[in-house]
Amino acid sequence: MTKTTTLALLAMIPAIGLVLSQDTSAYTTNGATWAQLPVPYSINTTNLDLPESAVEPAVIAGADTWATQSSAAVSLSYTGSSAQTTTGYDGLNLVVFRNASSGSAIATTYYWSSGNRLLDADIVFWDAAFRFFSGSTGCSGGFYIEDIAAHEFGHALGMGHSAVAGATMYPSTSSCNANNRSLDADDIAGILFLYPARTGVPGQIRNVRVVGS
Protein backbone atom coordinates (compact mmCIF):
# COMPACT_ATOMS: atom_id res chain seq x y z
CA MET A 1 0.00 0.00 0.00
CA THR A 2 1.46 3.38 -0.91
CA LYS A 3 1.83 6.15 1.60
CA THR A 4 -0.77 8.19 -0.27
CA THR A 5 -3.30 5.37 -0.08
CA THR A 6 -2.63 4.85 3.60
CA LEU A 7 -3.12 8.53 4.33
CA ALA A 8 -6.25 8.64 2.23
CA LEU A 9 -7.66 5.71 4.21
CA LEU A 10 -6.80 7.48 7.45
CA ALA A 11 -8.60 10.53 6.17
CA MET A 12 -11.72 8.40 5.79
CA ILE A 13 -11.94 7.57 9.47
CA PRO A 14 -13.78 10.72 10.55
CA ALA A 15 -16.30 10.26 7.76
CA ILE A 16 -16.87 6.62 8.64
CA GLY A 17 -17.31 7.71 12.24
CA LEU A 18 -20.23 9.85 11.13
CA VAL A 19 -22.02 6.77 9.93
CA LEU A 20 -21.11 4.58 12.86
CA SER A 21 -22.28 7.18 15.33
CA GLN A 22 -25.74 7.30 13.86
CA ASP A 23 -28.79 7.34 16.07
CA THR A 24 -29.50 3.77 17.12
CA SER A 25 -33.14 4.34 18.05
CA ALA A 26 -35.34 1.81 16.39
CA TYR A 27 -38.90 1.66 15.17
CA THR A 28 -41.32 4.54 15.57
CA THR A 29 -45.09 4.71 15.57
CA ASN A 30 -47.63 7.43 16.12
CA GLY A 31 -49.49 5.09 18.46
CA ALA A 32 -52.62 4.87 16.34
CA THR A 33 -54.04 1.48 15.29
CA TRP A 34 -56.99 0.11 13.38
CA ALA A 35 -59.99 -0.74 15.53
CA GLN A 36 -61.46 -3.24 13.09
CA LEU A 37 -59.49 -6.11 11.58
CA PRO A 38 -58.86 -7.23 8.96
CA VAL A 39 -58.16 -3.89 7.30
CA PRO A 40 -59.75 -3.99 3.84
CA TYR A 41 -57.96 -2.53 0.82
CA SER A 42 -58.40 -2.29 -2.95
CA ILE A 43 -55.88 -1.95 -5.76
CA ASN A 44 -56.13 0.06 -8.92
CA THR A 45 -53.80 -2.11 -10.98
CA THR A 46 -53.44 0.32 -13.89
CA ASN A 47 -49.75 1.07 -14.24
CA LEU A 48 -47.02 1.83 -16.74
CA ASP A 49 -44.68 -1.11 -16.22
CA LEU A 50 -46.36 -4.47 -15.66
CA PRO A 51 -49.33 -6.52 -16.78
CA GLU A 52 -52.14 -5.75 -14.36
CA SER A 53 -52.33 -9.43 -13.48
CA ALA A 54 -48.80 -9.21 -12.08
CA VAL A 55 -49.50 -6.18 -9.91
CA GLU A 56 -52.20 -7.71 -7.77
CA PRO A 57 -50.21 -10.64 -6.30
CA ALA A 58 -47.16 -8.43 -5.81
CA VAL A 59 -49.06 -5.85 -3.76
CA ILE A 60 -50.86 -8.55 -1.80
CA ALA A 61 -47.55 -10.23 -0.99
CA GLY A 62 -46.20 -6.94 0.32
CA ALA A 63 -49.29 -6.36 2.43
CA ASP A 64 -49.27 -9.86 3.86
CA THR A 65 -45.70 -9.45 5.06
CA TRP A 66 -46.88 -8.02 8.36
CA ALA A 67 -49.34 -10.74 9.27
CA THR A 68 -47.39 -13.71 7.99
CA GLN A 69 -43.98 -12.82 9.42
CA SER A 70 -45.03 -11.79 12.88
CA SER A 71 -47.41 -13.01 15.54
CA ALA A 72 -48.99 -9.56 15.75
CA ALA A 73 -52.77 -9.49 15.86
CA VAL A 74 -53.00 -7.69 12.57
CA SER A 75 -54.42 -8.62 9.21
CA LEU A 76 -55.20 -7.01 5.89
CA SER A 77 -57.81 -8.19 3.45
CA TYR A 78 -57.77 -7.59 -0.29
CA THR A 79 -61.28 -6.77 -1.40
CA GLY A 80 -60.71 -6.55 -5.15
CA SER A 81 -59.64 -4.12 -7.81
CA SER A 82 -60.87 -0.58 -8.06
CA ALA A 83 -61.04 1.96 -10.87
CA GLN A 84 -60.70 4.86 -8.43
CA THR A 85 -57.66 7.05 -8.96
CA THR A 86 -58.01 9.60 -6.18
CA THR A 87 -57.09 9.29 -2.53
CA GLY A 88 -58.56 10.95 0.53
CA TYR A 89 -60.55 10.36 3.68
CA ASP A 90 -63.28 8.45 1.91
CA GLY A 91 -63.48 5.08 3.62
CA LEU A 92 -61.66 3.30 0.78
CA ASN A 93 -58.13 2.11 1.48
CA LEU A 94 -56.63 2.27 -1.99
CA VAL A 95 -53.34 1.32 -3.63
CA VAL A 96 -52.87 3.28 -6.82
CA PHE A 97 -50.10 3.69 -9.40
CA ARG A 98 -49.93 7.30 -10.50
CA ASN A 99 -48.44 8.45 -13.78
CA ALA A 100 -46.64 11.25 -11.98
CA SER A 101 -43.57 11.83 -9.86
CA SER A 102 -43.29 13.27 -6.39
CA GLY A 103 -39.90 14.61 -5.53
CA SER A 104 -37.73 11.56 -5.13
CA ALA A 105 -40.30 9.41 -3.35
CA ILE A 106 -40.92 5.95 -4.78
CA ALA A 107 -44.25 5.65 -3.02
CA THR A 108 -46.18 7.63 -0.44
CA THR A 109 -48.72 6.51 2.15
CA TYR A 110 -51.42 8.93 3.23
CA TYR A 111 -52.96 7.73 6.47
CA TRP A 112 -55.69 9.34 8.49
CA SER A 113 -56.22 9.09 12.22
CA SER A 114 -58.33 10.46 15.00
CA GLY A 115 -56.99 10.07 18.50
CA ASN A 116 -55.41 6.64 18.66
CA ARG A 117 -57.47 5.18 15.80
CA LEU A 118 -56.45 4.81 12.17
CA LEU A 119 -59.38 5.54 9.89
CA ASP A 120 -58.19 5.44 6.29
CA ALA A 121 -54.97 4.76 4.39
CA ASP A 122 -54.01 5.10 0.74
CA ILE A 123 -50.76 4.18 -0.97
CA VAL A 124 -49.53 5.95 -4.10
CA PHE A 125 -46.77 4.42 -6.24
CA TRP A 126 -45.07 7.19 -8.23
CA ASP A 127 -45.01 5.39 -11.52
CA ALA A 128 -43.69 8.10 -13.81
CA ALA A 129 -40.46 8.45 -11.89
CA PHE A 130 -39.63 4.80 -11.25
CA ARG A 131 -39.92 1.48 -12.99
CA PHE A 132 -41.61 -1.25 -11.01
CA PHE A 133 -41.04 -4.99 -11.18
CA SER A 134 -42.68 -7.97 -9.52
CA GLY A 135 -41.28 -11.21 -8.18
CA SER A 136 -37.68 -11.52 -7.14
CA THR A 137 -35.71 -11.63 -10.38
CA GLY A 138 -35.34 -9.48 -13.45
CA CYS A 139 -35.23 -6.10 -11.77
CA SER A 140 -32.94 -3.56 -13.37
CA GLY A 141 -32.78 0.03 -12.25
CA GLY A 142 -36.17 -0.11 -10.58
CA PHE A 143 -37.97 -1.47 -7.54
CA TYR A 144 -39.88 -4.60 -6.68
CA ILE A 145 -43.49 -3.88 -5.78
CA GLU A 146 -43.39 -6.51 -3.03
CA ASP A 147 -40.69 -4.61 -1.12
CA ILE A 148 -42.09 -1.15 -1.60
CA ALA A 149 -45.57 -2.38 -0.65
CA ALA A 150 -44.26 -4.04 2.51
CA HIS A 151 -42.79 -0.71 3.63
CA GLU A 152 -45.86 1.32 2.71
CA PHE A 153 -48.32 -1.09 4.31
CA GLY A 154 -46.22 -0.73 7.45
CA HIS A 155 -47.17 2.95 7.42
CA ALA A 156 -50.78 2.05 6.69
CA LEU A 157 -50.76 -0.05 9.86
CA GLY A 158 -49.34 2.81 11.95
CA MET A 159 -45.60 2.26 11.72
CA GLY A 160 -43.24 5.19 11.28
CA HIS A 161 -39.68 5.03 10.05
CA SER A 162 -36.95 3.05 11.76
CA ALA A 163 -33.32 4.03 12.18
CA VAL A 164 -32.26 0.40 11.88
CA ALA A 165 -30.55 -0.11 8.56
CA GLY A 166 -31.97 -3.24 7.00
CA ALA A 167 -35.37 -2.88 8.61
CA THR A 168 -38.36 -2.85 6.30
CA MET A 169 -39.30 0.52 7.80
CA TYR A 170 -35.88 2.04 7.18
CA PRO A 171 -36.62 5.19 5.21
CA SER A 172 -34.25 4.68 2.31
CA THR A 173 -33.84 1.87 -0.12
CA SER A 174 -31.79 1.09 -3.18
CA SER A 175 -32.91 -0.11 -6.55
CA CYS A 176 -33.80 -3.79 -6.86
CA ASN A 177 -33.49 -4.30 -3.10
CA ALA A 178 -35.45 -7.46 -2.31
CA ASN A 179 -34.87 -7.44 1.44
CA ASN A 180 -37.72 -5.20 2.59
CA ARG A 181 -40.19 -8.01 2.09
CA SER A 182 -38.49 -9.81 4.99
CA LEU A 183 -39.24 -8.19 8.33
CA ASP A 184 -36.35 -7.32 10.60
CA ALA A 185 -36.57 -7.99 14.34
CA ASP A 186 -37.05 -4.24 14.76
CA ASP A 187 -40.09 -4.26 12.43
CA ILE A 188 -41.56 -7.18 14.34
CA ALA A 189 -41.03 -5.39 17.65
CA GLY A 190 -42.82 -2.36 16.23
CA ILE A 191 -45.83 -4.18 14.87
CA LEU A 192 -46.12 -6.19 18.09
CA PHE A 193 -46.11 -2.93 20.05
CA LEU A 194 -49.06 -1.71 17.99
CA TYR A 195 -50.90 -5.02 17.71
CA PRO A 196 -49.87 -7.31 20.56
CA ALA A 197 -49.53 -11.00 19.76
CA ARG A 198 -52.56 -13.06 19.00
CA THR A 199 -53.56 -15.44 21.73
CA GLY A 200 -53.36 -19.08 20.83
CA VAL A 201 -50.20 -18.72 18.84
CA PRO A 202 -48.48 -22.12 18.80
CA GLY A 203 -46.05 -22.39 21.65
CA GLN A 204 -47.79 -19.82 23.80
CA ILE A 205 -49.92 -20.87 26.75
CA ARG A 206 -51.48 -18.09 28.74
CA ASN A 207 -53.60 -17.83 31.86
CA VAL A 208 -53.84 -21.56 32.38
CA ARG A 209 -55.63 -22.41 35.57
CA VAL A 210 -55.93 -25.96 36.82
CA VAL A 211 -58.96 -26.50 38.94
CA GLY A 212 -59.21 -29.63 41.01
CA SER A 213 -62.31 -31.73 41.02
Among 36, 104, 137, 213, binds another protein (CB under 8 A): 104
Out of 92, 112, 179, 189, the residue judged to bind another protein by CB under 8 A: 112
CB of 211 to another protein, least distance (A): 46
For residues 90 and 6, the answer to whether their CB atoms sit within 8 Å is no
Backbone angles phi, psi at 59, to 5 degrees: -65, -45
33/87 with CB nearer another protein: 87
Whether residue 38 is preceded by a cis peptide bond, meaning omega within 30 degrees of 0, is: yes
Q: Of 130 and 195, which CB lies nearer to another protein in the complex structure?
A: 130
Closer residue to another protein in complex, CB, 17/203 = 17
| Pattern 127-156, another protein, x by CB under 8 A | ---------------------x--xx--x-
**Min. distance of Cβ 19 from another protein in angstroms?**
6
Q: How far is the CB of 29 from another protein (least distance, A)?
A: 11
Q: Which residues make Cβ contacts (< 8 Å) with residue 110, sequence separation at least 6?
A: 87, 88, 121, 122, 123, 124
Q: How far apart are CA 96 and CA 78, in angstroms?
A: 14
Dist CA 117 CA 32 (whole Å): 5
Q: How many CA atoms lie within 13 A of 179 on its CB side?
A: 13
Q: Which SS3 state, helix, strand or coil, does residue 44 take?
A: strand
CA 47 – CA 66 distance, rounded (Å): 25
Q: Is 115 in the site for another protein (CB under 8 A)?
A: yes
Q: Does 83 bind another protein (CB under 8 A)?
A: no
Q: Which of residues 154-213 bind another protein (CB under 8 A)?
A: 155, 161, 163, 171-175
19 binds another protein (CB under 8 A): yes
Spatial separation of the C-alpha atoms in residues 137 and 180, rounded to whole Å: 15
21 binds another protein (CB under 8 A): yes
- Binding segment toward another protein, per CB under 8 A, in 38-46, 62-70, 102-110, 201-209: 102-110
The alpha carbon of 164 is separated from its chain's Cα centroid by a whole number of angstroms, namely 14
Footprint on this chain of another protein (rule: CB under 8 A) = 4, 7-8, 11-12, 14-16, 18-19, 21-23, 30, 85-90, 98, 100, 102-115, 119, 148, 151-152, 155, 161, 163, 171-175
